[in-house]
Homo-oligomer: A and B are copies of this chain.
Amino acid sequence: MLQNIRVVLVNTSHPGNIGATARAMKTMGLSRLVLVQPEDFPSLVAEARASGATDVLESAQVVDSLEQALVGCNLVLGTSARDRRIPWPLLDPRECGETCVEQLEQGGEVALVFGREYAGLTNEELQRCQFHVHIPSDPSFGSLNLAAAVQVLTYEVRMSWLAARGRPTKMEKVETTAMLGTQPATMDEMELYYAHLEQTLVDIGFLDPEKPRHLMARLRKLYGRSAVSRLEMNILRGILTETQKAARGEARKRGEE
């Protein structure tokens, strides 16, 4: 699905930014790069900054006009600074990601268009886009590096795409957790732990059985919110058992004095 989204760079000055864009795209699973009149391409600088994403550079399409770059697209989104004279439907990067994925799910082709390093897109170019996208940067220092902007927008596309697939990342997380024996301890196991902990604190002389309540309540609060796993429970119980052994040594010694 992500092969139906293209990144379009218009009149890029620095080949390093083209290479860094290729890398940013590939990390997010995108492969289709279109360059409108790049100033310096192909370039060894671009290859160096692509850092292994050379396939994206090699298959990049170089064209003469934005119009050519957008052939076959159903949805075009253009990056824009906040204050434009012409009001236009404006999306933040998250909405941009969602809008792209909705279009891709319907079998459409999508273009994300990025302007020149210093001047951005012209008003005419922006008018070829159905939506403008603004990254909500600090107004006093608002200009992201070109490839950094590509990274943010393609990241949001990937997040939406993963969400649409049903969050496989979370699945992996759950499976890993289960495999490694990190199921949460049950409430009765927790109660056995608290009883063991309380007895141990009495044994080492930290807890006065005459007024025990406050301390155990605090410890219950701490461990209660920690979602202690069975593995961790075993460790904590093991520590208590060894502590009790040490305490019995102390007690015996005292008895001998």
Contact = CB atoms under 8 A, between A and B. Distances in A.
A173 B90 contact: yes
Contacts of A204: 239, 242-243, 245-246
A145 interface: yes
A107 interface: no
B235 A226 contact: no
A250 B203 CA distance: 13
Given A87-B176, A246-B249, A142 B206 contact: no
Interface in A157-212: 158-159, 162, 169, 173, 176-177, 180, 182, 201, 203-206
Contact of A141 (B27, B205, B235, B238): B27
Interface of A, secondary structure class, is helix
Contacts of A173: 90
- Among A51, A141, A221, A248, find the residue whose CB has the most chain B CB atoms closer than 10 A: A141
A42 interface: no
A205 B147 CA distance: 53
Interface string A222-257: 110111100110010011001101111111111000
- Among A238, A239, A248, A251, find the residue whose CB has the most chain B CB atoms closer than 10 A: A239
Contact of A138 (B28, B176, B227, B242): B28
